[in-house]
Amino acid sequence: MRVPKPIAATLRRQFVWLVVVLLSVGAARFLGGQYLGEVYDGQLQRIADTSRANQRMLQDLTDVETGVRGYQLTGEPPFLDPFRAGAADYPVARDAALRAAPDDRTRVLVRDQDQAAQRWLAQVALPISALPPGYPGLEADRSGRGKELFDAVRARNAAVAGAVEDAQRAATAGYRTASTVLEASLALLALLSVLVALRIHRTAKRMLVTPLGALEDLLDRRAGGDLSARAALTGPPEVRRLSAALNAELDESGRARESLVAGADAVAAQKAYLDQVLDVIEVAVLTCDTDGRIVHLNRVARSRRRDGVPQTIADLDPVWVPGANVADPRPHPLARALAGDTVKAQEMALVGAAGERRVVADARPLRDEAGRVIGAVLTGYDVTDLREREADLAAFAAIAAHDLRSPLTTISGYTEILAEELTDPDHVAVATRIGSGVERMRRLIDDLLAYATARDAPLEPAPVDLSALVAAISPQVRVAGTLPVLDADPGMIRRLFEHLISNALKFTPPGREPDVCVSAAWAAGGGVQLTVADRGIGIPAEELGRVFTSFHRVHGRGYAGTGLGLAICQRVVARHGGTITAADNPGGGTVIQIVLPAAAIAQPVSP
């Protein structure tokens, strides 16, 4: 709603006049006062400089007179020192006085003083100073003439001082007069501004205040809940047009309000629908806003709470490392997602009144169309029962493996004894094949146990020196640079490198010396990249994507194996939050690359 143009134009013109007058008053007060002050300060500064220079001229001439008189009386050259100093400084002081002179009268008097000083110097001071030393009473007949000439200098110096005082009094009087005129002008302008303000007040009262009083009553009625109230079309034409515009806007706002109510009802219905959908699924769902305040918990998430609905991320249950009685040093997954990270399949232990529950959580940020983070969502599902079943299966596998190893050990022992006792080559070959079969069965059992352990056994992180570990596994392996110290499960990491190095050594063509190199480098994102490169027979290109699959064997006869080695490696790396890939080594062979996150590094890679 705008003020009608005729009224607005009238008020605008009068307001402009008021602003012009006020600005004129302010500008005149500021600029005039500043200008007068600067002029007055400049005059006082010139007067002060002239006074100091005039005093300095008299002092220099006095030093000259004292030195000459002492030399005249004693004939000793040291008395000429003040003479020389004063004579050297006098021209400087004279020039300063001439430059700073506030008016022509003072400048003429300074020149008169200089002429009198030059006469005294030429007729008295300089002739005496030029006489040879050692004769007291030199030029005694000049004393009377010298006193007469020097008194003339003093008189002219006093005249200059008097002129300086007159100039100061004149400057002060001029400043006071100008200030008086300026203040009188400002008073007239101020009076004019008061008259303009009174005129604006009368105009506003006549054209706005009174007519709009009725509109104020209308607004009070609407504020009191009477939404049907409308403005009466009475008063001046401008006010009637204003009232009509107001009524049109009120009608439009009424229609908009009805639309908003209908939209709010639809949003509430859709929210109730989505709440029911989220409550039906058997996965915990939590969302928060950018300030970390919890926005929504579905039925599963609410049922896990013991102390009411959490208000912020800080109120959520503490997260513990699974299988260990220590808190997870990382932030809560929901907080990490709010910071922009994507959390995938993070296993956590939530310790509560019902004991420890194992949960696998995914979290990701919520973004608007521009990509800005507007919140975060976490989904999680309970894997406690699954982990317990996996533990039972692992225990069963261990017992079964033990029970299987025992007869294999017995068979192996008897086969060795039999091979030693037999003399028929065919019988020895049979015994040897039996022993080889037993050994393959033992390796299969060991790999099956390692495969299950790599997936289900709890991690027990500790410092692992990779350089020492690689050297202990095989002295045939080269280490390029310095390997890091990892914060990882020592048993699993050893099993990882044992498999990788044994594969690299095993798959070396006959007649060629093994060439295996282990190196480390920084990875993108702050982690570490570990590389095991060999010059073996390599992996066919079509098999590179399947080498980490369980029981997948790339090579045929001549290379024994269970097909679980690289699958075990993949599980160990995944348990430590990393990735493992295989690629061709340029020039022949295979390159295995392992990327571990920064959290798995206890000591970094040396530069």
Residues 321 and 329: beta-carbon distance below 8 Å: no
Task: Note the pLDDT tens digit of each residue in 397-440.
Answer: 666 655 666 676 777 676 777 667 666 776 666 667 676 566 55
DSSP state letters, 164-185: HHHHHHHHHHHHHHHHHHHHHH
DSSP state letters, 395-428: HHHHHHHHHHHHHHHHHHHHHHHHHHH---HHHH
| CATH 3.30.450.20 assigned to 281-382 | yes
Residues 153 and 116: beta-carbon distance below 8 Å: yes
CA 168, CA 159: separation in Å to the nearest integer?
Answer: 14
3-state secondary structure of 76: coil
Q: Is the pTM of this model over 0.75?
A: no
CA 331, CA 320: separation in Å to the nearest integer?
Answer: 11
Is 227 exposed, middle or buried (CB count within 10 Å of its CB: 0-12, 13-18, 19+)? exposed
Task: Note the pLDDT tens digit of each residue in 288-306.
Answer: 898 888 888 888 877 766 5
Helix (H) or strand (E) holding 465: strand 462-465
Q: Lowest mean pLDDT: which of 86-95, 217-226, 371-380, 502-511? A: 217-226
DSSP state letters, 220-272: HHHHTT-TT------SSHHHHHHHHHHHHHHHHHHHHHHHHHHHHHHHHHHHH
CA 360, CA 378: separation in Å to the nearest integer?
Answer: 10
Is 94 exposed, middle or buried (CB count within 10 Å of its CB: 0-12, 13-18, 19+)? buried
Distances (CA, A) of 210 to 119, 167, 206, 229, 437: 89, 63, 6, 20, 111
Question: What sign has the CA pseudo-torsion 544, 545, 548, 549?
Answer: negative
CA 287, CA 334: separation in Å to the nearest integer?
Answer: 8
Residues 292 and 299: beta-carbon distance below 8 Å: no
Residues 87 and 121: beta-carbon distance below 8 Å: yes
pLDDT at 557: 40
Strand-by-strand arrangement of the 373-382 sheet? 294-297, 284-288, 373-382, 355-367, 343-352, 319-320
Q: Work out whether strand 590-596 and strand 579-584 pair parallel, antiparallel, or are unpaired.
A: antiparallel
Q: Given a cut of 60, is residue 450 above it in pLDDT?
A: no
Picking from 492, 508, 488, the residue whose alpha carbon sits closest to that of residue 568 is: 492
Task: Note the pLDDT tens digit of each residue in 574-597.
Answer: 888 888 888 888 888 889 889 988
Q: Lowest mean pLDDT: which of 292-296, 499-503, 555-559? A: 555-559
Residue type, 72: Q
Q: Given a cut of 70, is residue 570 above it in pLDDT?
A: yes
What value does the mean pLDDT of the chain take? 77
CA 266, CA 274: separation in Å to the nearest integer?
Answer: 12
pLDDT at 324: 60
CA 250, CA 263: separation in Å to the nearest integer?
Answer: 20
Structure tokens at 479: 């280490």
CA 372, CA 262: separation in Å to the nearest integer?
Answer: 30
pLDDT at 1: 44
Residue type, 146: G
Q: Residue 168's pLDDT band (boundaries 50, 70, 90)?
A: confident
Question: Average of pLDDT values for 442-447?
Answer: 56
Third-level CATH fold of 460-607: Heat Shock Protein 90 (3.30.565)
Residues 564 and 451: beta-carbon distance below 8 Å: yes
Task: Note the pLDDT tens digit of each residue in 83-130.
Answer: 888 888 999 989 988 888 888 888 899 999 899 889 988 888 888 888
Q: Given a cut of 70, is residue 390 above it in pLDDT?
A: no
Opening angle at CA 96, ends 94 and 101, nearest 5: 95
pLDDT at 366: 92
Task: Note the pLDDT tens digit of each residue in 178-227.
Answer: 788 877 877 887 777 777 677 766 766 666 666 666 667 777 777 777 77
pLDDT at 447: 52
Q: Residue 465's pLDDT band (boundaries 50, 70, 90)?
A: very high
Third-level CATH fold of 5-202: A middle domain of Talin 1 (1.20.1420)
CA 305, CA 94: separation in Å to the nearest integer?
Answer: 97
pLDDT at 431: 66
pLDDT at 137: 59
Q: Residue 135's pLDDT band (boundaries 50, 70, 90)?
A: low
Where are the chain's structural domains? 5-202, 281-382, 383-458, 460-607
Q: Work out whether strand 477-480 and strand 516-522 pair parallel, antiparallel, or are unpaired.
A: parallel
Question: Average of pLDDT values for 38-52?
Answer: 86
Distances (CA, A) of 132 to 10, 74, 140, 326: 96, 12, 14, 107
CB contact burial 62-71 (16+ within 10 A = b; e otherwise)? bbbbebbbbb
DSSP state letters, 303-365: HT-SSS--SBGGGSPPEE-TTSSSB-SSPPHHHHHHTT--EEEEEEEEEETTEEEEEEEEEEE
Residues 94 and 114: beta-carbon distance below 8 Å: yes
CA 15, CA 12: separation in Å to the nearest integer?
Answer: 5
pLDDT at 405: 60
pLDDT at 558: 46
- Top mean-pLDDT range of 37-46, 199-208, 341-350: 37-46
